[in-house]
A = this chain, B = another copy of it.
Amino acid sequence: MPILVVGSVAFDSIKTPFGERDRVLGGSATHFSVAASFFTEVRVVAVVGDDFGPEEEAVFREREVDISDLERVPGQSFVWKGEYGYDLNVAHTLDTQLNVFADFRPKLSARARATPYVFLGNIQPTLQVEVRKQVSAKLVAADTMDYWIEKAPAELREMLKVVDVLIINDSEARELAGEANLIMAARRILTMGPTRLIVKRGEYGAAMFSDGSYFATPAYPLEKVFDPTGAGDSFAGGFMGYLAATNSSEEAAFRRAVIYGSVMASSHVEEFGCARTRRLTYDEINKRFRDLRSISHFEVAESPPFSRET
């Protein structure tokens, strides 16, 4: 089954303790698409300016991502400048120029509207709701961020009512629920609309909550995180990509989807932008999947449950 993603396509200027790069192709729709394209057909709804040229287009084309709904308007594309310190979990935004993204109103073709799996990347919640209303999807997942939790809480609540899966990070989950304990926070968020909540915890892995089920995985162990920009979107791409490819709504499929999300994010952060993800092979992806299983695997002892008396 194909996936529709709505989000941003941007030029990122990124500085980390390990180097810097200017005008790297980024944005939630880009990172998501590249990751998800390893699993299924992806269609992108986003907006770019005149500076989006053949070189940028090639990133989508080489991954066979459908960009026929990518709107091109006069002006400059979205620009983000950011810096990371040694705590790579925290991005410090130096500059944001919305440019053509400021007036973005997603326009969906008939083909886009009929896509069964939809990912609403981190954009204004009212736009996410507008897109949601135009599609009759089997599964809709969304991301958001602290900015919308703080600046547009009412609009965000409306968005939550119309999505199936919310994919956010640890601190966002606590902030959204107004609850320091993550398990309590998750329980509260599941009353707001989504039937599943995926919490991304960076180097600590990921957790998935639904009514009656809880799943958690450690992260793939990395000796070097080069650039965390887009890791969350890459996770969402692997997660949704696997679900769409298998078209299953079984708990077991959702669990494997979390692992594929973790795998894609773990590779993504090893180079600037989506450079590493673009070069991934299925062997590499499936090896990390199996590695994550080995890392977290243990058996209940063959003997009866432990007791000192027995």
Instruction: Identify A245's interface contact among B184, B223, B224, B306, CB under 8 A.
Output: B306
CB–CB A308/B40 < 8 A:
yes
CB–CB B215/A296 < 8 A:
yes
Nearest chain B CB to A237 CB, angstrom units:
13
CB–CB B282/A305 < 8 A:
yes
**A window 245-260: CB within 8 A of B:** 245-246, 252, 255-256, 258-260
Tell whether A81 is near chain B: CB-to-CB under 8 Å: no
Tell whether A285 is near chain B: CB-to-CB under 8 Å: yes
Instruction: Identify A39's interface contact among B38, B299, B306, CB under 8 A.
Output: B306
Q: Which residues of B contact A215 (CB under 8 A)?
A: 295-296, 298
Tell whether A148 is near chain B: CB-to-CB under 8 Å: no
Nearest chain B CB to A80 CB, angstrom units:
24
Per-position 1/0 for A179-200, Cβ under 8 A of B: 0111110010000000000000
Copies of this protein chain in the complex: 2
Stretch in contact with the other chain, from A120-128, A137-145, A201-209 = A201-209
**A window 151-183: CB within 8 A of B:** 180-183
* C-alpha gap A292/B90 in the complex (Å): 30
CB–CB B306/A183 < 8 A:
no
CB–CB B306/A260 < 8 A:
yes
* C-alpha gap A203/B225 in the complex (Å): 22
Q: Which residues of B contact A67 (CB under 8 A)?
A: none
CB–CB A181/B296 < 8 A:
no
16 contacts between A and B (CB under 8 A): A39-B306, A181-B222, A184-B223, A207-B218, A214-B295, A217-B298, A245-B306, A255-B297, A255-B298, A256-B298, A258-B298, A259-B298, A282-B305, A285-B306, A286-B307, A293-B298
* Known A204-B204, A214-B221, A293-B298; 16 more pairs at CB < 8 Å: A37-B308, A181-B222, A181-B224, A215-B295, A216-B218, A217-B296, A242-B306, A255-B298, A282-B306, A282-B308, A285-B306, A286-B306, A286-B307, A289-B305, A290-B300, A290-B305
